[in-house]
Structure 1
Amino acid sequence: MSILEVKNLSVSFKQYTAGLKQTNHKVISSLNVTLEAGEILAVVGASGSGKSLLAHAILGILPSNASVSGVITFEGEELTSARQKAVRGKEIALVPQSVNFLDPLMHVGSQVRTSVKKGDAVKAQRAVFERLHLRQEVEQMYPFQLSGGMARRTLLSTAMVSGVKVIIADEPTPGLDPVVIKEALDQFREFANQGCAVMLITHDIESALQIADKIAVFYAGTTVEIAKVEDFLGQSEAIRHPYSKALWRALPQNDFIPIPGSQPHPSALPTGCLFAPRCEMATPECWEAQPDIRNLRDGMVRCIHAT
């Protein structure tokens, strides 16, 4: 059952250049994802592909110069600004990428306890700290006293005790040792098994493949493919989009072949398919218009050549 759905999301930012000329940079265009209760959706793609902006758009925490179009629904109802504020932190929780989301004037233990909705908050906080290998004395520390890894584990703790229906984890594992990474990933899997929906935003495709049910691949601010995790196993023959295949081949455990060229900047997007300038399959038709996302082999793809 779909619990959160994003349809044709576009996000632009107003900027002023020399001479106070106003420009609009579209950083997300026609982006589509669906979160199912009981599943983990891993969102992968290069830096600047729109992964974190998607999370912020869902929660309504984009900066004031952002313009948003498209529809986001939660439990079948549109997420208006008022509803975003009502569900933020209560039914939809964010594990943010930046540790600056921690309150610098509050003990970290107390911050985690404020996310506990039922039961003994102190007991819940201490149990999750123990699980993530944070010593009890850490609960009396302020954020500036924490290492980067400790701060990330604290942010992760707030989601783990929240009892929310949707967790959006934005790069939750960088800087953590392998034991803690495994604990965090296992916890996300446990959340999903209990009926929660999890969106795992990550560069670490290998970790995502261990626990995710589906993979959404982003490129230059749009969704190019959504597929079952099984499609990314084997020799990539089940992968639909040329970029997804190139991303798979670039992994060290596979062919370790880099993708030529670079992802375009939002101010210099090509006409037509955004991946066309780097694609070996590109034809003149690819430059005419951005392809619509379509259903293909029990998945979705944005490519006219995918079969």
Structure 2
Amino acid sequence: MAILEVENLSVSFKRYTRGFKQVKSNVISSLSVEVEEGEIMAIVGASGSGKSLLAQAILGILPRNAIVSGGIKYGGEVLTPPRQRALCGREIALVPQSVNSLDPLMRVGEQVRTSVKSGNAAAAQKEVFERYHLDANVEKMYPFQLSGGMARRVLISTAMVSGARVIIADEPTPGLDERSVAEALKHLREFADSRCAVLLITHDIESALKIADRIAVFYAGTTVEISPVENFRGNGEELWHPFSKALWRALPQNGFVPIPGSQPHPDDLPSGCLFAPRCGMASAECGEALPDMRKLRNGSVRCIHAT
């Protein structure tokens, strides 16, 4: 059963150019993804593809000039702004990308304890710090006294003690040593195995493959493919979308084959398929309209040529 459902989400921003002319930038278009109980859904894609904006839309923390359409549901019910405010930090927890999210005026141990909703907060904080190899004296430190890796472990600790049913982990492993990366991934997997859900936003496909159940590939603000993790292997022959295949083959261990061209800017999106200008399979039909996501075997894809 899906805990979190995003259906045809579109996000644009109003801004002004020279001469106070108002323009609208479409940064997310017809994006759909869902996360089920007991599942880790990894979101991968290039910078600027809409991964972090998706997290902000779910949590209701987009900038005030954002225009949002489409639907987001939690537990089968629409996530209205009041419901987002009520659930954020309680049933839906965020591991943010920036370590600057920590309160600079509060000791980090106290920050973690405020996220504990039931039971002994001090004991929960002590246990999670031990789990992430944070010494006992760290709880009395302020954020500016932490290294980048320590601060990231504190952020992960805050989400882990919250008792949330959904964790959105936005690039949770940069700055961590190899052991801490393994620990963070392990505990995200344990969280999912307890019948909760994890939305893992990452550039690190290799780490995602170790713990994810499915992987959603984003391009230029939309979902182009959602596939089970086992499809990401070999030369990418079991992947369906041309961008997914190209992204997989661009990894150093898979040939390091570059993708010609670049991801389009939100102010200059092509008509039709957003990947068509870079795609060797593109036809005239690809330029007519953005393809719908359609089911294909054990996943879904946004490409008229995928079989």
Question: TM-score when scaled to structure 2?
Answer: 0.99
The amino acid that maps onto 1:195 is: R
Residue number in structure 1 paired with 2:301: 301
2:70 corresponding residue in structure 1: 70
Measure the CA separation in 2 of the matches of 1:27 and 1:218: 12
| Shift, 1:123, TM fit | 1.1
Q: Which runs of 5+ in 1 are unaligned?
A: none
C-alpha separation in 2, matches of 1:31 and 1:223: 5
Structure 2: stretches of 5+ with no match in the other structure = none
Aligned residues between the structures: 307
2:189 match: 189
User: Structure 1 residue 288 and structure 2 residue 295: aligned?
Assistant: no
Matched, 1:211 2:217: no
Distance 2:21 2:134 in 1: 50
CA distance in 2, matches of 1:13, 1:146: 35
Could you tell me which residue of structure 1 aligns to residue 176 of structure 2? 176
Per the alignment, residue 14 of structure 1 pairs with: 14
Query: Which AA in structure 1 matches 2:211?
Result: I
- C-alpha offsets along residues 168-196 of structure 1, whole Å, 9 cap, x if unaligned? 00000001000000000000000000011
- Whether 1:279 and 2:290 are equivalent positions in the alignment is no
Taking the aligned partners of 2:202 and 2:250, their CA distance within structure 1 comes to: 16
Counterparts of 1:26-41 in structure 2 under 5 Å?
A: 26-41=26-41
**Cα deviation digits, residues 111-143 of structure 1 (max 9, x gap):** 000111122111111111111111111111111
1:56-99 C-alpha deviation (Å, 9 max, x unpaired): 00000001010100000000000000000010000000000011
Aligned to 1:84: 84
Where do residues 210-229 of structure 1 align in structure 2 (5 Å cutoff)?
210-229=210-229
Alignment correspondent of 1:119: 119
Query: 1:119 is paired with a residue of what secondary structure?
Result: coil
Q: Which amino acid aligns with 2:137?
A: E
> What is the alpha-carbon root mean square deviation over aligned residues?
0.7
Write the distance in 1 (CA, Å) between the matches of 2:42 and 2:238: 17
Equivalent AA in structure 2 for residue 145 of structure 1? Q
Paired residue secondary structure (1:122): helix
- 2: CA distance between counterparts of 1:125 and 1:22? 48
Which residue does the alignment assign to 2:245? 245
Residues of 1 paired with 2:9 and 2:134: CA distance?
Answer: 38
What percent of counterpart residues are identical?
A: 72
Q: Which amino acid aligns with 1:288?
A: E
Deviation per CA, 1:181-226: give whole Å up to 9, x if none: 0000000000000011000000000000000000000000000000
> Partner of 1:216: helix, strand, or coil?
strand
Map residues 121-160 of structure 1 onto 2, 5 A cutoff: 121-160=121-160
Amino acid across the alignment from 1:277: P
* Cα-to-partner distance string for 1:149-169 (whole Å, 9 max, x where unaligned): 111111111011111100000
Partner of 1:253, secondary structure, is helix
SS at match of 1:19: helix
| Structure 2 CA distance for aligned equivalents of residues 125 and 199 of structure 1 | 23
Partner AA of 2:31 in structure 1: L
Distance 1:142 1:12 in 2: 37
How far the C-alpha of 1:233 sits from its partner, in A, is: 2.1
Give, in angstroms, the shift of residue 234 of structure 1: 2.9
For residues 157 and 219 of structure 2, the distance between their equivalents in structure 1, rounded to whole angstroms, comes to 30
Q: CA deviation at 1:235?
A: 3.0
Q: Give 1:104 shift.
A: 0.9
Indicate the residue corresponding to 1:97 in structure 2. 97
Instruction: Give me the TM-score of the superposition, normalised by structure 1.
Output: 0.99
Structure 1 runs of 4+ aligned residues shifted over 4 Å read none
Task: Quote the Cα distance in structure 1 between the aligned partners of 2:283 and 2:199.
Answer: 34
* Distance in structure 1 (CA, Å) of the matches to 2:27 and 2:195: 32
How far, CA to CA, are the matches of 1:116 and 1:295 in structure 2? 40
